[in-house]
Amino acid sequence: MNRRVGKTVSWQRHWLGMLLVAVVLVAVPFVAALGGQAWVRIANFAILYIFLALGLNIVVGYAGLLDLGYVAFYAVGAYTYALLASPHFGIHLPFWVILPFGAALACFFGVILGAPTLKLRGDYLAIVTLGFGEIIRIFMNNLNAPINITNGAQGITLIDPIRIGDFSFAQTSTVFGVSINGPHKYYFLLVTLAILVIFINIRLQDSRIGRAWQAIREDEVAAKACGINTRNIKLLAFAMGASFGGIAGGVFSAMQGFVSPESFSLMESITILAMVVLGGMGHIPGVILGAILLTALPEALRYGIDPLQRMVFGHPVVDPESMRMLVFGLALVLVMRFRPAGLWPSSQRRRELSEGTH
Amino acid sequence: MDTLLQQLINGITLGAVYALVALGYTMVYGIIGLINFAHGEVVMIGTMVAFTVIVSLAGSGMPLLIVLGIGLVVSVIVCMVLGWALERVAYRPLRHAPRLTPLITAIGMSIVLQNVAMIIWGRNYITFPPMIEKIIYDIGGASFTNVQVAIVSLAAVMMVGLIYLVHRTKIGMAMRATAQNPHVASLMGVDINRVIAMAFVIGSALGAVAGCMVGSYYEIAHYQMGFMLGLKAFTAAVLGGIGNLAGAMAGGILLGVIEALGAGYIGDLTGDFLGSHYQDIFAFIVLIVVLMFRPSGLFGERTGDRA
Amino acid sequence: MSEKPILLAACEVAKHFGGVKALHDVSLTIRRGEIYGLIGPNGAGKTTFFNCLTGLYKNEGGYFVFDGNRLAADAPHKAAAVGIARTFQNIRLFGNMTAIENVMVGRHLRTNANVFGAIFRNPATRAEEVAIVRRAEELLHYVGIHERAHDYAKHLSYGDQRRLEIARALATEPKLLALDEPAAGMNGTETEALRLLVEGICRDGVTVLLIEHDVKLVMGLCTRVAVLDYGEKICEDVPAAVQKDPRVIEAYLGGSVA
């Protein structure tokens, strides 16, 4: 983790690489738009998932805490935004108030869940977080009576888009002569957020806190003996992950204009976890790859399976929706079978595995 | 008072089913430390297979009990093969992989099985033909049916059988040894692969029986039913102390009773603020509370840090 | 020796597992600047004593007074914070971290950078980080494994792993360094090097509590020795006297104490 050597030598190449990435990032929505606006939305979701996956990466990848209820924090953020910026209660607060508030609320939930449970063994923590996720979802589903708070399974509609003064993210506007529509704007917002979370992930990795997380992951008893207050440090990871989930939820709400409990099922938590593990736990490029693949794959299958069936059999043989999920499930199994450390693990993990120790 | 009794009866019935499914989780976990997420789906497949067999034999003129029996046996066999195949194909190659890898595989298999079931049996609810004539017994203002009696007694027989198997047979001893220390067990001549496969096979058989029970109790099946059932059963296993057979049984019954009582009384407790559709949260609330005070479950061994 | 102030006093410390008494009212005092040996046959309760002292176990009876204060060590990190560092009998390093990173983790306790510091890398954090690296390098030098600084801990040789564990413990700036069988599995040369290291550590002002099986090492190194047998302290004296004590000889069955 000490990359001090060769820092000055390659900085030119470094900047060149950055420039290239920036050009690609700017080009993506315009290229995607050629295939239809749907692809811009898919790109947006891919980036939202990168954000979520990297938030979860702090919890699972760095601190080694298996969180199966991550979506609960996403839901808290999403509903906070939805309730405070929609006709449902007639409240329309600006996004820069709600997003931090949603993050703080998610963080708070993370702490009250984490504080009593973080001393639990890994798998117990997994099931407790999973249970917490379900509890949140059930409440969102049912808190429409006797007082209508969440509007139940129908969800909340007409949520305000993100708006800065007169600049609304829902409308098309012209910037420097280029016409930019809603999804494009959200794309650039999301990219900014994703870069932020990548930056934070990188900075944390090489810090006093990051080392403490890694130490806990390696050997909790030894970490304690080194004077690390393991409970607090774990709680920190948990709370940070939760905050990121909260922010992602708020942006999701604003972007969709609609939230319902359906978006926050356990399957969602599992998908985000799968992104982290399938990509390569703890390795930022791997996690990004995992998030992009697992967002793009089901979409690609959605568009690809029906024509494929017609081509091969002349007519659809099986329901494309279930075929899509089937392939998704098989992909998870196969990747884990042949790349147990993930598609793009850090070189260190790869070495661990080839030695047969873990 | 009669509500209490009624909910207790319903809770024990449901709990018996949870307990059987929980045993499947706990056996696998106890031996290889894996949360077999696909176990709920195995149970669902068990229900579906039993349904298909029973429906297709219903018109054959065979006596009802024989038809039910064949349905049960076929579903048990299918699930045993499925459980064996799961272990052999999906989990065994990952035995030395990082801890989360087999978990993702299990989740993947769960998705695969669900969607295979949807392709075979469709996405709608399947209703079991009302073949068993229900006899209702009354006690003290509450009632129970012959189906409930059958479920609870069959579950009891299965559990006793499992305890006998684990504590009195050679393969049972091998299982316990492997759970303690697989490496040493293998040095003593225990065929680890066989033991692990057996845990999957037995767990799946119990799951199939539980699946048949659920089918005959609710008379309804759905390709997604395994998910919540599996989740509850896993919760029951953790509640009892995962890896502990008696714990899984007790945890299952306890969870069933808590859920039934919770569903029966939540309206009264919260002044009708929360209704019975909150039934599902009891399992998780109880779980969180229990683990806060007993971090290894109710009957789990306390595993302290060792230096 | 006896005029030096007391650093650690254990008073009637008791611990049992189920029905087994692992420690039975063990009392002992360690003075500043000592190398204090704790010996005894296998299963005598030495490591249990360590675990109670460092907060890994909760002792049912008795208490510890450390540096003038009663030790409320219900958590290992608190023990480390007041100045008790330890190593483990079955080496517990962070295997997938490099040697220097292991020592850097040891600096956690005496440094302050929080999440905001980590993210923004303000001057204070950067300065602290530089200091952490420098101190870690010094400590690796001190224990003599600096040339392995950037190798993964799990790739170090056995003897080097023991040294790394000591360096990591020293990074927490302990007043008392508790070593749990540091010479186990070492050959003669390595043991001799270890002896010099421990002497050096003591000379540099850290009191050492040493659990050891290698009786020869203990006798040559320690200023005073306590002997545990079946959870009870049967003797506490200078090495020469301990060696002659009939109870100790009996505990070691036939007196392999020499």
Dump the DSSP string for A234-302: HHHHHHHHHHHHHHHHHHHHHHHS-B-GGGG-HHHHHHHHHHHHHH-TT-HHHHHHHHHHHHHHHHHHH
pLDDT at B307: 36
- pLDDT score of A357: 39
pLDDT tops 80 at residue A250:
yes
Torsion angle (degrees, nearest 10) of CA B254, B260, B266, B269: -60
Q: Which residues in C lie closer than 8 A to residue B307 (C-beta atoms)?
A: 47, 50-51, 54, 56, 88-89, 92, 180
Q: CA-to-CA distance for B34 and B301, rounded, in angstroms?
A: 18
pLDDT at B271: 63
Q: pLDDT confidence of A259, banded at 50, 70, 90?
A: very high
- Please enumerate in sequence order all residues whose Cβ is within 8 A of that of C229, keeping only pairs 6 or more positions apart, or say none: C40, C41, C44, C247, C251
Residues B274-295, mean pLDDT to the nearest whole number: 77
Whether C88 and B307 lie within 8 Å, measured CB to CB: yes
* Better-predicted residue by pLDDT, A133 or A10: A133
Q: Does A353 touch chain C (CB under 8 A)?
A: no
Percent of chain A at pLDDT above 70? Answer: 91
User: What mean pLDDT is predicted for residues A155-161?
Assistant: 85
> What is the mean pLDDT of the segment spanning B111-126?
90
pLDDT at A53: 93
Checking if the pLDDT of A335 tops 50, the result is yes
Q: Which of C149, C173, C197 is the last residue of a domain?
A: C173
Cβ–Cβ below 8 Å for A208 and C80? no
Tell whether A221 lies on the interface with C, counting CB pairs under 8 A: yes
Bridge-based pairing state of the strands A91-92 and A85-86? antiparallel
**A284-305 burial, b for 16+ CB within 10 Å, e for fewer?**
bebbbbbbbbbbbbbbebebeb
Report how far residue A52's alpha carbon sits from residue A58's, in angstroms, rounded to the nearest whole number.
10
Please answer whether residues B43 and B18 qualify as being in contact, where contact means their C-beta atoms are separated by less than 8 angstroms.
no
At A203-221, the pLDDT tens digits run: 998 899 999 999 998 899 9
Cα B77 from Cα B201, distance rounded (Å): 9
Within an 8 Å CB–CB cutoff, is residue C181 touching chain B? Answer: no
Q: Are residues C246 and C183 located together in one domain of the fold?
A: yes
Minimum Cα–Cα distance from A355: chain B residue: B96
Tokens 């993100």 found at: A162
* Cα–Cα distance measured from residue A294 to residue A292, given in angstroms and rounded to the nearest whole number: 6
Residue B304's pLDDT band (boundaries 50, 70, 90)?
very low
For C224-242, what is each residue's pLDDT tens digit? 999 888 888 888 888 888 8
Contacts of A142 in chain B (CB under 8 A): 274-275, 277-278
Report how far apart, in Å, the C-alpha atoms of B170 and of each of B166, B191, B257 are. 8, 12, 35
Are C155 and C141 found together in one domain?
A: yes
Q: Is B299 part of a structural domain of the chain?
A: no
Cis peptide before A316 (omega within 30 of 0): no
Q: What pLDDT, on the 0 to 100 scale, is given for residue A163?
A: 78
Q: Is A274 in contact with A294 (CB distance < 8 Å)?
A: yes
**pLDDT number for residue C3:** 66
CA distance linking residue B76 with residue B215, whole number of Å? 14
For residue C155, how many other CB atoms are within 10 A of its CB? 14
Residue B219 has pLDDT above 90, yes or no: no
pLDDT in tens, B136-187: 888 877 888 888 888 999 999 999 999 999 889 998 899 888 888 888 888 8
Whether residue C58 has pLDDT greater than 50: yes
Element (H, E) at C158: helix C158-170
pLDDT of amino acid A107: 95
Evaluate whether A338 touches B91 at the Cβ level (below 8 Å). Answer: no
Chain C residue with the nearest C-alpha to that of B306: C56
Given a cut of 90, is residue C199 above it in pLDDT?
yes
In the numeric block, which tokens belong to residue B22?
């929980």
> Residue A15 above 50 pLDDT?
yes
pLDDT at site B82:
96
Distance CA B178, CA B73 (A): 29
Q: How far apart are CA B176 and CA C238, in angstroms?
A: 49
Across the range B62-82, mean pLDDT stands at 91
Q: What is the CATH number of the domain that holds C110?
A: 3.40.50.300
Name the residue in chain A with its Cα closest to that of C101.
Answer: A211
Q: Which of A1-5, B115-119, B214-218, C73-77 has the lowest mean pLDDT?
A: A1-5
Domain tally, chain C: 2
pLDDT band of A4, cuts 50, 70, 90: very low
Q: Report chain B's mean pLDDT, rounded to a whole number.
A: 86
Q: At B47, list the tokens.
A: 């229900």
DSSP assigned state of A209: H
User: C48 and C26 in contact (C-beta within 8 Å)?
Assistant: no
- Residue of higher predicted confidence among A223 and C244: A223
Q: Which two tokens stand for residue B97?
A: 């992989």
Distance of CA A42 to the CA centre of its chain: 14
Listing DSSP states for B135-199 in one string gives -EEEETTEEEEHHHHHHHHHHHHHHHHHHHHHHHSHHHHHHHHHHH-HHHHHHTT--HHHHHHHH
Is residue B85 predicted with pLDDT exceeding 70?
yes
> Which stretch of A263-267, A342-346, B68-72 has the lowest confidence by average pLDDT?
A342-346
Domain borders along chain A are 1-35, 39-278
- What's B133's DSSP letter? P
**What pLDDT sits at residue C258?**
43
DSSP string, A88-156: TTTEE--HHHHHHHHHHHHHHHHHHHHHHHTTS-HHHHHHHHHHHHHHHHHHHHHTTSSS-SS-GGG-B
Do the beta carbons of residue A256 and residue A159 sit within 8 Å?
Answer: yes
Of C150, C173, C196, which residue is a domain's last?
C173
CATH code, B91? 1.10.3470
* The predicted structure's pLDDT at residue A213: 94
Residue A8 confidence class, pLDDT cut points 50, 70, 90 = low
Residue-level pLDDT at C253? 56
A269's torsion region: left (phi>0), alpha (psi -120 to 50) or beta? alpha
- pLDDT band, residue B303 (cuts 50/70/90): very low
Q: What is the pLDDT of residues B222-278, one digit of tens each?
A: 888 898 898 889 889 988 888 888 899 999 999 999 888 887 777 676 666 666 677
What sign has the CA pseudo-torsion A152, A155, A156, A157? Answer: negative
pLDDT at C31: 92
pLDDT confidence bin for A14, thresholds 50/70/90: confident
Average pLDDT over residues C58-64: 87
Q: Are C65 and C183 part of one and the same domain?
A: yes
CA B84 – CA B95 distance, rounded (Å): 15
On average, the pLDDT of chain C sits at 88
Residues of chain B contacting C57 with CB distance shorter than 8 Å: 304
Look up the domain containing C240 and give its range.
1-83+174-258
Asked if C5 and C109 sit in the same domain, the reply is: no
Span A99-107, average pLDDT:
94
What's the pLDDT tens digit per position in B3-16?
Answer: 788 888 989 999 99
Asked if residue C98 and residue C41 are part of one domain, the reply reads no
Q: Which of these three, C173, C208, C237, is where a domain ends?
A: C173
Let me know if residue B119 belongs to a domain.
yes
- DSSP letter at C175 equals S
Q: What is the pLDDT of residue B306?
A: 37
pLDDT at C107: 94
DSSP string, A292-331: HHHHHHHHHHHHHHHHHHHHHHSS--S-HHHHHHHHHHHH
Mean pLDDT, chain A, integer: 83
Nearest residue on chain B to A343, alpha-carbon basis: B101
Q: Are C178 and C50 in contact (CB under 8 A)?
A: yes
A240-244, B220-224, B300-304: the lowest-pLDDT one: B300-304
In this predicted structure, the answer to whether residue A49 has a pLDDT above a threshold of 60 is yes
pLDDT at A72: 93
With an 8 Å Cβ cutoff, is B271 touching chain C? no
Q: Are residues C105 and C139 in the same domain?
A: yes
In angstroms, rounded to a whole number, what is the distance separating the alpha carbons of residues B193 and B203? Answer: 15
**Structural domain count, chain B:** 1
Q: Which amino acid is at B69?
A: G
Stronger pLDDT, A52 or A182, i.e. the higher one: A52
pLDDT the model gives residue C100: 94
The reply to whether B270 touches chain A by the CB within 8 Å rule is no
Q: Please give the average per-residue pLDDT across A45-69, as a whole number.
A: 91
Place of tokens 């920190």: A236
Domain membership flag for residue B305: no
CB C104 within 8 A of CB C133: yes
